[in-house]
Structure 1
Amino acid sequence: MAKERVLFMCIHNAARSQMAEGLFRHLHGDDFDVFSAGSDPQEVDPLAVRCMEEIGIDISSYRSKSLKEFEGHEFDYVITVCGNPYNACPFFAGGKKYFKQPFEDPSAFEGTEEEKLELFIKIRDGLKDWLEDLYYSYMLPEEGCCDLSEEMEGCCGSNDKEFSCK
């Protein structure tokens, strides 16, 4: 059976979507093919690489990709992780399901190197928490549900995809 495909998007594909790709690949890469791209790709931010290294996830070989590289491809999930009152996020036609959760652009933050790293870590941790909720609420394979323990019997069945069994 083919893996479901996930595309994470933001504008620059330099921080948020790169971290989301690394996190999701680390957590669920056995079940999903995971990609990221942006509408205006920039170089992957070294602080994104550094904050991911702190939790044992290596994204140093990742490269920023344009959404154009994926034109004509289909994805089971297209997930947008950018957006704030000052910018618009890209859109990608070719997704079966779409999710959006705005996270602040850490590369736009002005401060000391340590302050910037703190913001990257905060966003990384927020992404991780949100991605886990998203997975357990909407993406959990039905056959992988409820084998956690007998106590959880009946949870997360096909009629209860909204309940999180984590």
Structure 2
Amino acid sequence: MKKVVAFVCVHNSCRSIMAEGWARELGADVLDVYSAGTEVYPGPKPMALEVMNDAGVDMSHASSKLLSDIPSELDILITMGCGVECPYVPTNHREDWGLDDPSGGPKEGFEETRDIIKEKVIELIERVQKGEL
């Protein structure tokens, strides 16, 4: 049975979008993946989508969403280190990945963040496969 996971940030425009992309790409067999923000934002950051596409991850599904746009009950809630104060969301596991926001910086910052997120998503998938989450 797949675990329902959501990656949450303030705007759902960069880090959480990248995490959703990696989780869909690498963990579709074990994860039912969502991402959302706590504030309205017009859409994903173009540089976030570009660096994901550079890595071969299809980001055509990407859009900025709010918590109200995703399932209200989750197995796993991951905040991205953006000081998000999430309203109460029923979940079995919650963790914060403590990632700096590369927005406004050079492409290299987005690439570094992308690669860190990939490693964290791989670790998350491994923990789910082992039954730890």
CA contact (8 A) 2:7 2:36 kept: yes
Q: Which runs of 5+ in 2 are unaligned?
A: none
1:120 partner amino acid:
F
Note the alpha carbon deviations across 1:9-29, whole angstroms, 9 max, x for none: 011100000000000110001
**Cα shift at 1:131:** 1.8
What is the number of equivalent residue pairs in this alignment? Answer: 130
Is the aligned partner of 1:121 residue 2:111? Answer: yes
Q: Measure the CA separation in 2 of the matches of 1:3 and 1:135.
A: 11
Given that residues 16 and 82 in structure 1 are in contact (C-alpha distance below 8 angstroms), is that contact kept between their aligned partners in structure 2?
no
Contact 1:11-1:82 at 8 Å conserved across structures: no
Match of 2:32 in 1: 33
Compute the TM-score of the two structures, normalised by the length of structure 2. 0.88
Q: Which among 95, 99, 108 is matched to residue 99 of structure 1?
A: 95
Q: Give the Cα–Cα distance (whole angstroms) in 2 for the partners of residues 98 and 35 of structure 1.
A: 14
Q: Say which SS state the counterpart of residue 60 (structure 1) adopts.
A: coil
| Rg (Cα) greater in structure | 1
Partner of 1:148: none
CA gap 1:59/1:90 in 2 versus in 1, 3 angstroms: farther
For residues 60 and 90 of structure 2, the distance between their equivalents in structure 1, rounded to whole angstroms, comes to: 28
Which among 139, 157, 163 is matched to residue 128 of structure 2? 139
What is the CA–CA distance in structure 2 between the aligned matches of 1:126 and 1:65, rounded to whole Å? 23
Structure 1: tracts of 5 or more residues without a match: 111-115, 143-160, 162-166
In the alignment, the residues of structure 1 paired with residue 51 and residue 85 of structure 2 have an alpha-carbon distance, to the nearest angstrom, of: 25
1:90 maps to which of 69, 85, 92 = 85
Query: After the TM superposition, which parts of structure 1 deviate over 6 Å for at least 4 consecutive aligned residues?
Result: none
Question: CA shift at 1:40, angstroms?
Answer: 1.1
Q: Distance in 2 between matches of 1:57 and 1:89?
A: 26
SS of 1:99's partner is strand
Report the Cα distance in structure 2 between the residues aligned to 1:3 and 1:117, rounded to whole angstroms.
34
CA contact (8 A) 2:74 2:89 kept: no
Kindly indicate whether structure 1 or structure 2 has the higher relative contact order, using CA contacts under 8 Å at least 6 residues apart: 2
Superposition pairs of residues 12-91 of structure 1, within 5 angstroms:
12-42=11-41, 43-70=43-70, 73-83=72-82, 88-91=83-86
1:69: how far off?
A: 2.1
Alpha-carbon distance in structure 1 between the residues aligned to 2:35 and 2:111? 19
